[in-house]
A and B are shown apart, each in its own frame.
Chain A
Amino acid sequence: MLSYILKRIFSAIPVLLGVTLIVYFIISLIPGDPATAILGSFATPENVKILNSQLGLDKPIWQRYFIWLYNILQGDFGRSFSLNRPVIDEILERFNATIILSGTSFVICSILGILFGILSAAYQYSFIDKLITFIVLVGISIPSFFLGMMLILYFAVSVRWFPVSGMYSLYGGGGLWDLINHLVMPSITLSLVALGVIARLVRSSMLEVLRLDYIKTARAKGVKETRVILSHALRSAIITILPILGLQAGFVLSGSVYIEIVFQWPGIGRMLVDAILTRDIMLVQGGVLFIALCYVLFNILVDILQLWLDPRLLRK
């Protein structure tokens, strides 16, 4: 088990390297550069050249990548061009916000998604199944940014239950309740699509299991239906559900990018979008590395959980 875990952790390193390499070259290859973004209308070729050399961008791309990599290994994430501050400070400041938002959304979509999936499988073709399928389809189909805007218009502007944007009230705010109050709308918006996907996949894997012989045996033995579903069927279905949760966690993390824009959530996603627009390659790299790291770590965790639930996998 331990050697498996270590192997998985080491195999994550090339993944992270690959991600940073690809992102670095894509950002370098798209037209426009940080100096043009900073100078705006004042970007003459001459001014751009001067500023680029001041920013250290006059070296070839591959050379810059290796300098970046070397510095990362020493714990130096570089300075953001556009914000003129260390990338690591910016990421650490925003790290919490993203984890809180996507963590909450992930918990919501996992719990409700699994519950909905089980219910629709247990009551296949009934009214409940159809109702859940309908809700789930609507959830998957509505673009999140649109749903976010609509929630804002109704719940924040019309009835004023929740604040429009931000993470804490800037005056007299702070504390858990204030945070939860700000978290309700963005986390619901963000969790909806993943909730739908999880519910659909849980439904189908539960249905598959429910058809198996041992379920019939259990029912024939006279085991209570709740127990059949929760202990017998869900337990074996969960092994196929877990990797889905791992994938959806990635979806929630990357989905937070536009939810953070609509709700002005001070997280990594917002930062990444600004960084791309200003061609702030250091900040983009830092942000992407962070998101990739979260994603990879979460998937390792899921794999380990799966092994723990079904040790037979280790033998394969």
Chain B
Amino acid sequence: MIGILRATCKIFAVSTLLITFIAHSFAVSANTPDNVLVVGQIAEPKSLDPATVTAVNDFRILMNMYDGLVRYKSGSLEVEPALAKSWEISNGGTTYTFTLKSGIKFHDGSNLDADAVKFNFDRMLDESHPYHDTGPFPLSFFFSAIEKVEVISSDKIKFTLNAPYAPFLSNLAYPTGLIASPEAIKKSGKDFGRNPVGTGAFKFNSWKANEAVIVDKNLNYWDGVAKSDAIIFRPITDGNTRVAEMLSGGLDMMVEVPPVSLSEFSGSEFSIVEQAGPHVWFLILNAKEGPFANKLVRQAANYAINKTAIVEDVLEGTAAVAAGPTPPAFAWAYNNSLSPYPYDPAKAKSLLKEAGVTNAKLTFYVTQGGSGMLDPVAMGTAIQADLSAVGFDVEIKTFEWNTFLGEVNPGLEGKADMAEMAWMTNDPDTLPYLALRTGAWPDKGGFNSGYYSNPEVDKLLEAARSSTDQAERASLYQKMQTIVQDDAPWVFVANWKQNAVTTDKVKNFSLQPSFFLILKDVSK
């Protein structure tokens, strides 16, 4: 019997020794290699085919491997030339003719020409295109205004739209408008998303499921060779594990640091980067029925909620208080004269009294989490408490994200009085056009789930969409923001500031307002 005990002790001693030995022989392996950036991503990419993906997480990789005809200027959401060297807008904003830069090649050596550009858009939009079956293309509606795409010459391409559509250029700068190699699509077919070929600063090396996507620098890049030799994108879904990996030296940078973990990176060996983006977090109020059909009650809700407390305490300063429906990141279209509804419970109470509303019962749809939703349960609970304090009786119903979207997007009528929502967009047109117009009520295919309707706003938005003069568009959007803020179809809560942490070795890194990750000029 003593023998068994002795054997157990031996096994223990040997395995402990072994583990210690393994640990020590690899203790240095946590350091990342020189001149290769290791980036901690929030999830495994779905695909690396730009026409088929929808998530910012995937866009962060794609923007380094592909180029579009145009792109956002660094640090802004204004459009500048990329693959196209110039363009002309004619016929009242319905014809866009682009001239391409010459001599640009895809990573597979094929030429970027007008035919290649046409191939990309036809693949997405034309159901009879031989490679349309490499989809589906969920965001192809970004380009639904395109009637036809014509090749004028090898370096000239013409887009004809069915109506003037001002966001067209900024949609082309969106990842859905990135140009992929037609030769590679023909070769890989449906598996192109696993064998991506673009013109970007980095070219595809390998993708190991749930481990990493590795891209190498493109030595022939038309806009200057990248500073890093390669980038390794590692998907680490669990926020805590991502933080631990960053702290242990396994990553050079990570995006979307959980607010509660920011303090872990206060040391000098890390730097925290922040950037406000085109994001707005709001509450949709049901303006069709119930207490929120009355504008005074909607305004009261805006006064009653302590947004500063939500932003500073719940979100630990990772967001700013929102003033209206348009995020300040759209600097050119933002109305600087707007200031957020102040936290004023007394004013809220007096508005409710004026409206004759007492003890209104509210059903409040909250999600457990989703793209851009920040910390929805904690935020929802704080909102519930603030509303109760001025006399609302709020009942929260919580849903998992997909179920939540399935409940909210078809409209709140007959179900709820308010719902959480967040949007990240690329143009000041997108969100109000899809979610505030009368023509965007859910039964008409839009996202106006709270049934807000103001003919003046409808008119302003239509006019802004068909104008191609940026100054004119800006003034229309600014007017729209003033009216919408006063009408209060939503409670405007927060504009998220995207964050990232890098080690002190990483140089020249900044976040973009587009929320994309542009790593060409970043070095280590």
List A residues at the B interface (Cβ < 8 Å): 30-33, 35-47, 51, 54-55, 79, 82-85, 90, 93-94, 111-112, 115-116, 118-119, 122-123, 128, 149, 152-153, 155-157, 160-173, 177-178, 180-181, 184, 225-226, 229-230, 261-264, 266-267, 270-271, 274, 277-279
A165 x B409 contact (CB < 8 A): no
Which residues of A lie under 8 Å from residue B370 when comparing CB positions? 40
Contact residues of B: prevailing secondary structure: mixed
Q: How far is the CA of A123 from the CA of B139 in the complex (A)?
A: 68
Report, nearest first, the 9 A-B pairs whose CB atoms are least far apart: A32-B402, A161-B23, A266-B210, A31-B403, A225-B1, A54-B136, A226-B3, A46-B445, A171-B33
Q: How far is the CA of A84 from the CA of B134 in the complex (A)?
A: 9
Interface size range on B against A: 35 or more
- In chain B, positions 350-404 with a C-beta closer than 8 Å to chain A are 370-372, 400-403
| Option from A38, A44, A162, A170 in Cβ contact (under 8 Å) with B409 | A44
Which residues of A lie under 8 Å from residue B8 when comparing CB positions? 115-116, 119
Asked whether any CB of chain A lies closer than 8 Å to the CB of B135, the reply is: yes
Q: How far is the CA of A178 from the CA of B43 in the complex (A)?
A: 24
A264 x B237 contact (CB < 8 A): yes
A177 x B237 contact (CB < 8 A): no
Which residues of B lie under 8 Å from residue A38 when comparing CB positions? 54, 138
Among B25, B32, B138, B424, which residue has the most Cβ atoms of chain A within 10 A?
B138
Which residues of B lie under 8 Å from residue A33 when comparing CB positions? 402, 406
A173 x B211 contact (CB < 8 A): no
List 15 A-B residue pairs with CB atoms under 8 Å apart, sorted by A's residue number: A37-B402, A40-B54, A54-B136, A112-B11, A122-B1, A128-B5, A157-B244, A157-B247, A171-B33, A178-B26, A264-B235, A264-B236, A264-B241, A266-B208, A279-B402
- In chain B, positions 234-253 with a C-beta closer than 8 Å to chain A are 234-238, 240-241, 244-245, 247-250
Q: How far is the CA of A156 from the CA of B244 in the complex (A)?
A: 8
A115 x B11 contact (CB < 8 A): yes
Which residues of A lie under 8 Å from residue B245 when comparing CB positions? 164-165, 264
The chain B residue sitting closest to A279, CB to CB, is: B402
B241 x A262 contact (CB < 8 A): yes
A170 x B38 contact (CB < 8 A): yes
Which residues of A lie under 8 Å from residue B23 when comparing CB positions? 155, 161-162, 181, 184
Q: How far is the CA of A70 from the CA of B40 in the complex (A)?
A: 41
Which residues of B lie under 8 Å from residue A90 when comparing CB positions? 209
Which residues of B lie under 8 Å from residue A264 when comparing CB positions? 210, 234-238, 241, 245
Quick one: CB contact mask for B32-64 with A, threshold 8 Å, 1 for yes? 110010100001101101001011000000000
Contact residues of A: prevailing secondary structure: helix
List B residues at the A interface (Cβ < 8 Å): 1-5, 7-8, 11, 19-20, 22-27, 29-30, 32-33, 36, 38, 43-44, 46-47, 49, 52, 54-55, 135-136, 138-139, 141, 190-191, 193-194, 208-212, 214, 232, 234-238, 240-241, 244-245, 247-250, 370-372, 400-403, 405-407, 409-410, 421-424, 442, 445-447
A85 x B234 contact (CB < 8 A): no
Q: How far is the CA of A292 from the CA of B435 in the complex (A)?
A: 45
A32 x B405 contact (CB < 8 A): yes
A261 x B238 contact (CB < 8 A): yes
CB distance from A115 to the nearest CB of B (A): 5
Which residues of B lie under 8 Å from residue A122 when comparing CB positions? 1, 4
A84 x B52 contact (CB < 8 A): yes
Q: How far is the CA of A36 from the CA of B138 in the complex (A)?
A: 10
Which residues of B lie under 8 Å from residue A156 when comparing CB positions? 30, 244, 248
Which residues of A lie under 8 Å from residue B49 when comparing CB positions? 84
Which residues of A lie under 8 Å from residue B4 when comparing CB positions? 115, 118-119, 122, 226, 229-230
CB distance from B212 to the nearest CB of A (A): 5
CB distance from A59 to the nearest CB of B (A): 16
The chain A residue sitting closest to B370, CB to CB, is: A40
